[in-house]
Amino acid sequence: MSELRKISRREFLQRTGIAGGGLVFAVTLTSGCQRSATTDGAASVAPNVYVNIRNDNVVEIYCHRSEMGQGIRTSLPQVIADELEADWDRIELLQAPGDEKYGDQNTDGSTSIRKHFDVLRTAGASARETLIAAAAATWSVPMAELVAREHAIHHEASGRSASYGELVAAAAEIEVPEEITFKDPADYRYIGEPMDLIDGFDMTTGAAMFGFDTALPDMLHASIERCPVVGGTVKSLDDSAALAIAGVEQVIRMPDGTSPPLFNPLGGVAVLASNSWSAQRGRAALAIEWDKGLNAEYDSETYRTQLVETSHTQGKTVLNRGDVNAAFEGATSLHEADYYAPHLSHAPMEPPAATAMMRDDGSCEVWTCTQDPQSVQDTIASLLGIEKPQVRVNVTLLGGAFGRKWKAEFSAEAAWLAKESGRPVKVSWSREDDIRHGYYHAVSAQYLKAGLDSEGNTTAWLHRSVFPSIGSTFSAEATGPGGFELGLGMIDNPFAIPNMRLESGDAKAHVRIGWLRSVCNVYHAFAVCGFADELAHLAGEDPRDYLLRLAGPPRKVNPADDGAEYSNYGQGLDTHPIDTARYAAVVEKVAAMAGWGRELPDGHGLGIAVHRSFLSTVGTVAEVRVDSAGKLHVEELWTAIDAGLVVNPDRVVSQMEGAGIFGMSLALHGEITAKEGGIVQGNYDTYPVIRMSEAPKAIHAHIMDVDAPPGGVGEPGVPPAAPAIVNAYFAATGKRIRELPLRKAGVV
């Protein structure tokens, strides 16, 4: 399993500042080189699990993360190839299956680069040093006299050179050097450079293979009817009409769902047919009576009332600074507001799909559009009663995911049906299946109250957040926000307010709750950035300037200083601080990009929102136009991101553009509701996403030039979009909106 050996602070300091500005790491990627033969008979050597060098001079790089449009199958090899000094045209990318030897394969939380940058560099550098050692042994010269450059090792003194392929046999006899040196960033060839998507051409021409594209010989197609209410079970079944339909071969009752749901199948009845159309027709012909279970009375409007009431009641204190109550009593003015955001669906363009087959030895092989193949292994192994290594998971391209395809239940459905039917089975969820049976982003009610002094300074801040927890998916006892969720945009508040109290309130889940792109930051940023804008107007100050006042002097914020438990997205505050100077720089940059303060046409308004999430700070300015009918149109978006070191600027710009559209969809249209326990929405007609006609005429993205370790990119662009839009709407109309989506207010 790949890892970096932990070293002491003293040893770290001793190993920095070496010649060339590199950093020495001890590596334990493997115990030594592995020699193998490729299918064409060419010998190869694998210095670690990510790199295999063939004697035909091709370097194979294994991508252990999932590609879902973010470009990780391009960015990951950029890092490895740069340290390896490999020729980009001689790289062959291979998708890694699910396997613990690759370490963390969960493509979630904007972690692919920020948590693996040094691991990836180490993989490239260890392969480079192995080749240097092989050349040194072959030529009987010191390693210090050799240099890797342009896919070859060179000995400048003698003029000798050997390509990587020519050194494979010698490298196979070499132990991977225990210590390696990273390149000086000034010498990077690929890191920091825009690179075209490796999969771009295939995606454009339709040759790319996604989960829905998998086809196996003798494969059955499955369509599954599930109870409309989570936790419901089959009371009675008549499948005679389904079995009479041409092409239908089997009807199989699925195992009932579990409590808590985990990533297990939801239950229901599967129709298996020789083609997908027959499977769908057979499913429609099933006569099922359901026992809808404990969640049959769930009504989202009633639940909303309960959440709001809870948010107005003192909750559990999760951060406490100063004396908020005393500050309220001494304030010149008080202001309070309720913010509400509904359940959301991921609604990726490609719904969940998986294909599975059982092998003669009892093992199972799966092809699936998953964000975490190891989670799929765990779930299927438990469901089928086999060992995890007996489950091979092949990762296809993902046609969008946004957190939905982290969950393994659709892959487990395919595996279960393959075992029961004795044939390979492809499970394809319809759009309606996905929207009505998903893992939903939590609904939230938030109450905020602030005290201002005579000069407009915010002296006290109270924030209560109430929502059903993701933890309910894993524990039936979870009835309120978990600490990690409150750390997503609430506990990590950067404002220099002397008196602050943050509280949470209990809420029981009645649907499956999961993470959606940017998770709790979506509704926390909506409330915090919207309320900050309200305070600016109450203070009679420009919203940009007031954000800078709230940020206060440059400093590093540690929520633990105020008694909060905070994980900082799994990385240290020393390397990835909550830095108000960087926050302020983003405020100023994005405002300048948008021409903040310029004269606007009648009916137009600018709104600003800045939010830190997943170790990056993103600022968004929206310009909106409100027409004569009172309808809102987003004219332009400007976004600035501080993500530290950036591997592929093109991908970061693309992610900011996509995040703007995604955030607009949530702000203008996104809403999942429930009646009698079932989800009301079913397709893009009732759960709309942004159409081309609604898109802004331009989204401008800027990457801040910051000398810092990498932060997240895929998710941080989403949270500031909604508050920037509602703040702009207020600037244009003087009317404040505190509930999403905006179409409920009749303005879109």
Output the DSSP codes for 250-309.
EEEEPPPP-SS-TTS----EEEEESSHHHHHHHHHH-EEEEE-GGGTT--HHHHHHHHHH
Cα(60)–Cα(50) distance, integer angstroms: 8
375 and 360 fall within a common domain: yes
Cα(555)–Cα(580) distance, integer angstroms: 6
Q: Are the CB atoms for 225 and 254 separated by under 8 Å?
A: no
Residue 395 sits in a domain of what CATH number?
3.30.365.10
In the 8-state DSSP scheme, what is residue 177?
P
From 205, 237, 260, give the residue that closes a domain. Answer: 205
Could you tell me if residue 1 is inside a domain? Answer: no
226 and 80 fall within a common domain: no
Number of residues that make up the chain: 748
Q: Are the CB atoms for 613 and 521 separated by under 8 Å?
A: yes
Could you tell me if residue 371 is inside a domain? Answer: yes
The position carrying tokens 């005393």 is 326
**Closest CA relative to residue 544, chosen from 494, 585, 579:** 585
From 401, 428, 455, give the residue that closes a domain. Answer: 428
Q: Residue 563's domain spans which residues? A: 300-345+439-745
**Residue 675, beta-bridge partner list:** 678
Could you tell me if residue 661 is inside a domain? Answer: yes
558 and 464 fall within a common domain: yes
The position carrying tokens 């979009």 is 721
The position carrying tokens 């702000």 is 667
From 398, 428, 458, give the residue that closes a domain. Answer: 428
Could you tell me if residue 674 is inside a domain? Answer: yes
Q: What is the CA radius of gyration of the chain?
A: 27
Cα(672)–Cα(620) distance, integer angstroms: 26
Could you tell me if residue 4 is inside a domain? Answer: no
Look at residue 179 in the predicted model and tell me its pLDDT.
86
Could you tell me if residue 3 is inside a domain? Answer: no
Give the Å distances, CA to CA, from 587 to 534, 597, 641, 657. Answer: 17, 14, 10, 18
Cα(608)–Cα(721) distance, integer angstroms: 9
Average pLDDT, 10 consecutive residues per value, the chain (748 residues): 36 35 41 51 85 97 98 98 98 98 96 96 98 98 97 98 97 91 96 97 95 97 98 98 98 97 98 98 98 97 98 98 98 98 98 98 98 98 98 98 98 98 98 98 98 98 98 95 96 98 98 98 98 98 98 98 96 97 98 98 98 98 98 98 98 98 98 98 97 97 98 98 98 98 96
Count of Cβ atoms closer than 10 Å to residue 577 Cβ:
17
544 and 452 fall within a common domain: yes
Parallel/antiparallel/unpaired status of strands 43-48 and 391-395 = unpaired
356 and 338 fall within a common domain: no
182 and 228 fall within a common domain: no
CA dihedral 98, 102, 104, 106 (to 10 degrees): -40
Q: How far is CA 135 from the centre of its chain?
A: 42
Alpha helices in 594-671 (DSSP H): 649-668
631 and 664 fall within a common domain: yes
Count of Cβ atoms closer than 10 Å to residue 158 Cβ:
10
The position carrying tokens 């090899």 is 77
475 and 396 fall within a common domain: no
Could you tell me if residue 456 is inside a domain? Answer: yes
Burial string for 228-262 (b: 16+ CB within 10 Å, else e) reads bbbbbebeebebeebeebebbbbbbebebbeebbb
73 and 183 fall within a common domain: yes
395 and 330 fall within a common domain: no
34 and 86 fall within a common domain: yes
Look at residue 33 in the predicted model and tell me its pLDDT.
59
Cα(190)–Cα(165) distance, integer angstroms: 21
81 and 116 fall within a common domain: yes
Count Cα neighbours of 66 within 13 Å in the Cβ-side half-sphere. Answer: 36
Burial class (CB in 10 A: 0-12, 13-18, 19+), 602: exposed
Look at residue 29 in the predicted model and tell me its pLDDT.
52
Q: Are the CB atoms for 97 and 91 separated by under 8 Å?
A: no
Cα(311)–Cα(285) distance, integer angstroms: 45
The number of distinct structural domains making up the chain is 3
Could you tell me if residue 228 is inside a domain? Answer: yes
Look at residue 34 in the predicted model and tell me its pLDDT.
65
**Closest CA relative to residue 589, chosen from 652, 550, 542, 640:** 640
Q: Is the dihedral of CA 512, 312, 301, 675 positive or negative?
A: positive
Q: Are the CB atoms for 256 and 249 separated by under 8 Å?
A: no
Count Cα neighbours of 37 within 13 Å in the Cβ-side half-sphere. Answer: 3
Q: Edge-to-edge strand order for the sheet containing 160-163?
A: 146-149, 152-155, 160-163
Give the Å distances, CA to CA, from 359 to 181, 261, 364, 396. Answer: 45, 28, 6, 20
Count Cα neighbours of 507 within 13 Å in the Cβ-side half-sphere. Answer: 33
